């Protein structure tokens, strides 16, 4: 047999029921908001990883991001050695070009002398 509530109890019951429904609605709203925030965080993390990967690919981060001062000093020294090697090779190339020009001039002089000698 259904239980009947008197007036005061009925108002209290409906008040509690309304509070529960409202609380449930708030909970659902907070849950949806939390899910949306979680999606945003996941998307931002993914974009961050993509950006980091792009930076690594173009050499802005790479292994030097986590490298200590020793590793960075070694890498810097290696770069300086390569620059010095490039400058040395450029100087040697310039010297070789000068030698080549001298040899071309000597060859032209020799050919001119041979041509004069072959003519009576």
Mean per-residue pLDDT pooled into runs of 10, the chain (120 residues): 52 64 69 80 77 65 58 74 82 87 87 81
Looking at 18, 50, 65, which one is the last position of a domain?
A: 65
Q: Are residues 92 and 37 in the same domain?
A: no
User: Which pTM value belongs to this model?
Assistant: 0.38
Contact of 62 with 53, CB cutoff 8 Å: no
Domain check: are 87 and 98 in the same one? yes
CA torsion, ordered 35, 40, 41, 43, to nearest 10 deg: 120
Identify the domain boundary among 65, 88, 107. Answer: 65
Sign of CA dihedral 13, 16, 22, 24: negative
pLDDT value, residue 86: 83
Range of the domain at 100: 67-120
Q: Is 62 left (phi over 0), alpha (psi -120 to 50) or beta?
A: left
Single out the residue in 41, 65, 89 at which a domain terminates: 65
Regarding whether 80 and 48 lie in a shared domain, the answer is no
The one-character DSSP state at 2 is: P
Say how many CA atoms lie within 13 Å of 104 toward its Cβ.
Answer: 6
Q: Which two tokens stand for residue 20?
A: 């529960």
* Domains in the chain, number: 2
Indicate if 40 and 72 belong to the same structural domain. Answer: no
pLDDT in the model for residue 1 = 42
């Amino acid at each position: 047999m259904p239980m009947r509530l008197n007036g005061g109890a009925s108002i209290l019951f409906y008040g509690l029921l309304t509070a529960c429904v409202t609380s449930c609605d708030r909970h659902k709203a907070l849950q949806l908001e939390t899910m949306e925030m979680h999606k945003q965080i996941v998307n931002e993390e993914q974009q961050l990883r993509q950006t980091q990967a792009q930076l690594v690919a173009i050499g802005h981060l790479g292994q030097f991001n986590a490298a200590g001062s020793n590793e960075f000093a070694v890498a810097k020294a290696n770069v300086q050695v390569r620059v010095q090697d490039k400058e040395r090779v450029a100087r040697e190339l310039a010297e070789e070009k000068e030698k080549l020009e001298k040899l071309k001039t000597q060859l032209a002089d020799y050919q001119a002398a041979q041509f004069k000698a072959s003519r009576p």
